[in-house]
């Protein structure tokens, strides 16, 4: 029974698969077949079918076992970054004797560790068991974050921030690989937006926790400084989630303990239409070269670099930014939480609309427009308009819709396992570089207004708008080119080429998601 390979199992039609001989030249060029191909070789031509009811049952099972942990861990991934912002107004600066721009550098140094380890960690994600390596990194970053409570000076804080970046570097690329491994391309955009939206939930949760600790220690006293309690709480909670991740999340469908043996093969078959397989541990230099020659790789890189200059500044300075609006330090902890709600709503709405319309890129621009308008309000409104400027800050938190959209496109639009890990590394290296630059735009001498930083944010997001439109145009053009190739009379589709670890440019049956 034929099916549309560009849609996969998410269409609900029956899927039939028979393993046949593969062109040996293509296997040789590709280097080797996917992990799934090796499993299906054992079936010796046996046909596997998935009906709509079975597909829905598998999807529910996968969602319930994988998505909650991905969401909670990603929320902690953001919360662990913002703990520095909370701690900055809870006594950290005074206790560590931070002077001048040392706090700004603590914000940036996290990303020095992140950027230094990003490419090595993507190689390890490919070479080592995916969930085991990711889970180990989660546990280690939680332990290191807890150690921040023992920091006595600026030097100790530097070491902790750098190693924190090293171990958090595995989370985002690892989650992108997990999403592409377990979900069809039509399912990926929504789920990336869901787990990415837990950045917002992390900010809500973190703000409430920090506010409760600040008020509680002020009222009842504490032998431990309140900022240290914040680091201990978030760090130990991360360790617990890391242990659960190691226990529950499998490395791929074929070793999922919570799937029946027959369901493991069905879980692989349902993602056949992705044309990407489920994983390949062989490193292929030709795919690295293709990634470096692909204009989309560089468009992703420069987008991440430019969009995260504002992110780096806002993430580390939002508490101080709110106090600059005329609110107290305790109020800034509490009033920062609605910003997380704005991010959650923006991302969930973006994921829903992107899937419904089939236009992830264009739908994500709404969040970027909203965020830019928010910064304009902060700049244009008079200083005494505290409420209006606070609303402007809340609006800025809609900007991650574009970042999440491109992250989902790495999951669905980049094929070839080595190429995918390379593009993910480039994207997150750009992300790190932007976040390193961002805190430096909030100069101490500009407080409390930070006008130069606010203007920088507006310019960066304006440039990102044009990059997103370029990406949309390019993928449309490439889909038309592939349509022409497939329509030629002499075009033949090789059997089971989706399991050969081909890149998106090698495989003319691979259709880009918009």
Does 341 have pLDDT greater than 50?
A: yes
**pLDDT tens-digit readout, 99-108:** 877 887 887 7
Q: Which helix (H) or strand (E) segment is 50 a member of?
A: strand 48-50
> What's the pLDDT at 436?
83
d(CA 494, CA 490): 13
User: Per-residue DSSP letters for 402-453?
Assistant: HHHHHHHHHHHH--SHHHHHHHHHHHHHHHHHHHHHGGGGS-GGGTTT-HHH
CB burial string 214-245: b at 16+ within 10 A, e below: beebeeeeeeebbbbbbbbbbbebbbebbebb
Q: Is the dihedral of CA 291, 293, 297, 302 positive or negative?
A: positive
Does 61 have pLDDT greater than 90?
A: yes
Peptide bond into 448 cis (omega under 30): yes
At residue 203 the predicted structure's pLDDT band, cuts being 50, 70 and 90, is: confident
Q: Is the dihedral of CA 76, 78, 84, 88 positive or negative?
A: negative
Architecture label for domain 8-260+271-499: Up-down Bundle (1.20)
**pLDDT tens-digit readout, 373-430:** 998 988 888 878 888 888 988 898 898 999 999 988 998 899 888 898 899 999 999 9
Structural tokens at position 216: 């509680």
CB 346 within 8 A of CB 332: no
At residue 448 the predicted structure's pLDDT band, cuts being 50, 70 and 90, is: low
Mean pLDDT over 46-59 rounds to: 81
> What's the pLDDT at 371?
92
**pLDDT tens-digit readout, 6-19:** 333 333 333 333 33
Q: Which residues contact 256 (CB under 8 A, 6 or more apart)?
A: 65, 250, 264, 267
461: three-class secondary structure by DSSP: helix
Residue whose token pair is 């068991």? 129
Does 441 have pLDDT greater than 90?
A: no
Structural tokens at position 286: 């030709």
Distance of CA 467 to the CA centre of its chain: 19
> What's the pLDDT at 479?
94
d(CA 378, CA 321): 10
Of the given ranges (106-115, 131-140, 159-168, 359-368), which has the lowest mean pLDDT? 106-115
333: three-class secondary structure by DSSP: helix
At residue 136 the predicted structure's pLDDT band, cuts being 50, 70 and 90, is: very high
**pLDDT tens-digit readout, 254-298:** 889 999 888 888 888 888 777 766 666 778 889 999 999 999 999
d(CA 467, CA 481): 21
Mean pLDDT over 199-204 rounds to: 85
d(CA 376, CA 281): 47
Structural tokens at position 85: 């912002």
Rg of the chain over Cα atoms, rounded to whole angstroms, equals 23
d(CA 468, CA 164): 31
DSSP designation for 13: -
> What's the pLDDT at 33?
57
* pLDDT: which is higher, 333 or 204: 204
The CA-based angle 415-419-424, given to 5 degrees, is 100
Structural tokens at position 496: 């089971």
Percentages helix, strand, coil for the chain, rounded to the nearest 5?
75, 0, 25
Q: What is the pTM of this model?
A: 0.80
């Amino acid at each position: 029974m034929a099916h549309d390979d560009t849609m996969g199992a998410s269409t609900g039609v029956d899927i039939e698969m028979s393993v046949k001989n593969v062109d040996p030249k293509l296997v040789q060029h590709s280097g080797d077949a996917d992990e799934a191909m090796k499993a299906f070789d054992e079936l010796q031509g046996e046909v596997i079918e998935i009906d709509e009811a079975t597909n829905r049952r598998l999807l529910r099972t996968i969602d319930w076992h994988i998505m909650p942990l991905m969401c909670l861990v990603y929320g902690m991934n953001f919360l662990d970054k913002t703990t520095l912002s909370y701690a900055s107004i809870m006594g950290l600066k005074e206790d560590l004797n931070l002077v001048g721009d040392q706090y700004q550098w603590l914000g940036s140094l996290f990303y020095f560790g992140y950027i230094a380890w990003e490419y090595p960690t993507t190689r390890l994600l490919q070479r080592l068991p995916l969930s085991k390596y990711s889970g180990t990194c989660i546990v280690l970053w939680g332990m290191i974050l807890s150690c921040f409570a023992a920091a006595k000076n600026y030097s100790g804080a530097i070491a902790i921030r750098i190693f924190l970046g090293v171990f958090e570097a595995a989370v985002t690329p690892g989650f992108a690989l997990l999403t592409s491994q377990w979900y069809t391309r039509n399912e990926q955009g929504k789920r990336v937006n869901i787990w990415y939206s837990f950045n917002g939930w992390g900010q809500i949760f973190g703000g409430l926790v920090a506010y409760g600790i600040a008020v509680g220690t002020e009222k009842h006293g504490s032998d431990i400084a309140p900022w240290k309690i914040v680091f201990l709480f978030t760090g130990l909670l991360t360790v617990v989630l890391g242990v659960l991740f190691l226990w529950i999340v499998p490395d791929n469908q074929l070793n999922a303990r919570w799937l029946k043996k027959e369901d493991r093969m069905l879980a692989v078959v349902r993602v056949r239409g992705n044309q990407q397989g489920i994983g390949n541990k062989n490193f292929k230099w030709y795919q690295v070269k293709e990634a470096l020659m692909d204009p989309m790789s560089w468009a992703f890189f420069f987008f991440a670099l430019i969009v995260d200059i504002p992110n780096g500044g806002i993430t580390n300075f939002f508490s101080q930014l709110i106090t600059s609006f005329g609110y107290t330090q305790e109020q800034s902890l509490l009033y920062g939480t609605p910003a997380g709600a704005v991010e959650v709503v923006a991302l969930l709405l973006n994921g829903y609309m992107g899937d419904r319309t089939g236009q992830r890129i264009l739908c994500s621009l709404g969040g970027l427009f909203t965020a830019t308008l928010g910064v304009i309000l902060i700049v244009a409104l008079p200083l005494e308009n505290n409420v209006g400027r606070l609303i402007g800050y809340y609006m800025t938190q809609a900007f991650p819709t574009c970042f999440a959209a491109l992250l989902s496109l790495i999951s669905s639009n980049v094929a070839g396992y080595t190429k995918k890990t390379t593009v993910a590394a480039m994207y997150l290296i750009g992300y790190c570089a932007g976040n390193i630059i961002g805190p430096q735009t909030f100069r101490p001498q500009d407080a409390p207004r930070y006008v130069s930083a606010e203007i920088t944010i507006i310019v960066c997001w304006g440039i990102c708008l044009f990059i997103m439109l370029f990406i949309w145009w390019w993928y449309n053009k490439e889909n038309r080119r592939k349509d022409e190739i497939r329509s030629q009379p002499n075009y033949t589709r090789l059997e089971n080429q989706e399991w050969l670890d081909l890149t998106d440019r090698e495989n003319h049956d691979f259709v880009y998601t918009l």
